[in-house]
A and B are shown apart, each in its own frame.
Chain A
């Protein structure tokens, strides 16, 4: 029963993720208006048949902006996780496999990175490097690899002692080949789970950065910067704040459900 429920949740998560991915890919075909089209005679219109989610302070269609905003969220979410997974897996593999001082140095570095309030670090770097989506993506990736590194290291440590790795050693297989052909495939499941959960975190961070004006720069629409306009006009235009928040919530929920489902099916903790 419990398992079935879990599988249902996993299916729901996958469906949500698939839905928003489709929206992001086919954004130009879905959006009824140009997301940057300014119409001064149509400012602050409440949701209606013409404008599903209403219009903002410049008369732009919120629905169209949100459809294109899905692109930003997905793009930043997926790519920043690619960066963090690449760094985390490399560090974890090397630390776990070579052990001794290599392990100590790499893991102390990981501890140091864990000490920074990562949102502070991200804000500082993004602001120093001029805000842009590429920078946001890189910085989120560079400050969120520590969890993956620790997990991969732990897996590698336990794999290293297993018979088939010891046998490969004795057979004279080169360390590089052992790492890539024998250890890497066995840590993939751990990595996939934390990557899926990582996308959720990255989407939340990006939206917070955009909300603070340090992420996607106008006129590029993102869920976070629509919310900034929502904050300024919350007294009379609730729709500006309501819909983008719901979109973030559902997308992040989708990735989390998917990640948890994967973790269950891989039999992890």
Chain B
């Protein structure tokens, strides 16, 4: 097992370099150089600041050297200083917001997984029934609905018309004076809408996949064998089919991480949640270069970590994978 994890870790190294290369390329993509851009957005930009900027990004050196120096800083998690007015180190700005985004995404994944398990497996089990058709309709609509629009509708409905859910922020104004359980209740209350929106965004794909994977397993010979032995249908589903149907889904969880992180831009800026997505959107509109680059790298690294985690879970669950060695998943 350790051998397998080691192999997976080694395979990540070239990916990491590739990611940093693409990020570096995105910086260069801006018309002119970053210096010109900084100048054009800030009329009070002085020659002194210009020099400082050039030094900070080593812009006076040849490109490969620039990349090497930049990479060195990135590995030490040094993303420079934010262009925003607070002028704080990008690392601190990102680190204080990561927990919010990651917790919301983990909570959402938990619900997505649970709901998809129910919808997908049951609709595969009851293939062709009214329930199955209803799930199919839900999947198609779920794929097509713009999440930001759904967020608006829910805000209007639950926040304005019924007035039962808070529509912005993570905590109430009197949060600090609440008891421990009061704080938890307050947070939960604020999280209902954002998590719901995030769950709807990911649920359609996951339940569809779960249904397909269950149908796949149910058509296997060993299920037929179990049936012909006269085992009760429930035993077949829960003891024999479910475990194998869940395997491929583990992979999908890893693959759905970039989508979830990307989606956080939308619901965090709509619900004013102080997470990484909101910071990213603010930085993008203010053209806060260093912060944008920092979040891009960190977002990609989180995805790598998620994939590694999914790989390890997969290998733990399926011995065939760990003994066959580390072939890249398709």
Contact = CB atoms under 8 A, between A and B. Distances in A.
A123 B155 contact: no
A109 B25 CA distance: 14
Given A108-B15, A120-B295, A150-B330, A227 B160 contact: no
Interface stretch (A35-43, A60-68, A165-173, A251-259): A251-259
Interface in B251-287: 255, 257-259, 261-263, 265-266, 269-270, 280-281, 284-285, 287
B152 A227 contact: yes
B263 A119 contact: yes
Interface string B136-150: 000011011111111
Contacts of A256: 140, 143-144
Contacts of B292: 124, 127
A231 B146 contact: no
B26 A128 contact: yes
Interface stretch (B58-66, B241-249, B296-304): B296-304
* Residue with the highest number of chain A CB atoms closer than 10 Å, among B29, B149, B284: B149
Contacts of A227: 146, 148-149, 152
B31 interface: yes
Interface string A184-205: 0000000000000000100010
Contacts of A208: 146-148, 266
A241 B149 contact: yes
* Residue with the highest number of chain A CB atoms closer than 10 Å, among B258, B266, B295: B258
Contact of A117 (B141, B152, B153, B258): B258
Given A108-B15, A115-B304, A120 B30 contact: no
Given A115-B19, A208-B148, A123 B270 contact: no
Nearest to B285: A127
B258 A115 contact: yes
A213 B258 contact: no
Contacts of B285: 127, 213-214
A4 interface: no
A209 to B, nearest CB: 10
Interface of B: 14-15, 18-19, 22, 26, 29-31, 37, 128, 140-141, 143-150, 152-153, 155-156, 160, 255, 257-259, 261-263, 265-266, 269-270, 280-281, 284-285, 287, 292, 295-296, 299-300, 303-304, 307, 328, 330
Interface of A: 2, 107-109, 111-121, 123-125, 127-130, 150, 154, 200, 204, 207-208, 211-214, 227, 230-231, 234-235, 238, 241-242, 244-245, 248-250, 252-253, 256-257
